[in-house]
Chains A and B, each alone.
Chain A
């Protein structure tokens, strides 16, 4: 979703660094570890929702399992009072401060979860097929159109699955589950080699 490079973070280590270096090129389902982004978990009452969206620059979607995008930023509906806000850049502090300022006095919760998860991309004509080896949702374009984001499962790991284009999905997964998800995706796309 958010494209950045990992070069700016000399002190950082990411759980997929080693695995991503050894991956096979399989065109029908390409697997990529995406770079760091700022991730904020926003939860709150009605009064705070609009203010948070304005400060973030992307209105928080009110429709279930939808994602709004503007200027490279994304707001993902995860629950009726729960959103994940994604923005380029590894330092969430300025964004955090901006939203906190805009929502001062309005009942809400904003928590930095930038380091909690990593994002990987599955792209290609067989991307949905590969994901369906561990994900039980109907990933047809009718049932899971572009712009869908939802918490769900991939095998035994919880993920947030987003459809970016008809053939491109992003999988956001807690960092300690990331190698498991990666290996399962490698296993799933092996038959396409």
Chain B
């Protein structure tokens, strides 16, 4: 079980959290203005990188907050976590 650093509560065990998919995929401000293809990209297409991945987690059995994390999909270790709304930290594309 991983230890995840909630930006609000600090280090807590993984079972208190729920994964929320890729981070920084904002809902378009005007969906009606988008083509079907653009909308499908927003709905379904994700980067799925090998290496550092910015993703959403929710401390659902804790403070309830959604937040973002950068995790290395190769090692499964978290590099950093940060509050929702903050920009992705500048730590490159691939880890370890």
Contact = CB atoms under 8 A, between A and B. Distances in A.
Contacts of B62: 150-152
B61 to A, nearest CB: 5
B65 A80 contact: yes
A79 B16 contact: no
Given A136-B1, A136-B13, A137-B13, A64 B8 contact: yes
Contacts, number: 36
A27 B84 CA distance: 46
A158 B61 contact: yes
Contacts of A152: 16, 61-62
Contact of B64 (A79, A136, A137, A153): A79
Interface residues of A, number: 13
How large, as a class, is the contact surface on chain B? Answer: 10 to 19
A136 B15 contact: yes
Grouping DSSP codes into helix (H, G, I), strand (E, B) and loop, the A interface class, with mixed when no group exceeds half, is strand
A93 B1 CA distance: 43
Interface string B47-77: 0000000000000011111000000000000
B9 interface: yes
B24 interface: no
A112 interface: no
Contacts of A78: 63-64
B16 A153 contact: yes
Interface string B1-22: 1000000111011011000000
28 contacts: A64-B8, A64-B9, A64-B10, A64-B63, A65-B9, A65-B63, A78-B63, A78-B64, A79-B63, A79-B64, A80-B8, A82-B63, A82-B64, A136-B1, A136-B13, A136-B16, A150-B9, A150-B62, A151-B61, A151-B62, A151-B63, A151-B64, A152-B16, A152-B61, A152-B62, A153-B16, A153-B61, A158-B61
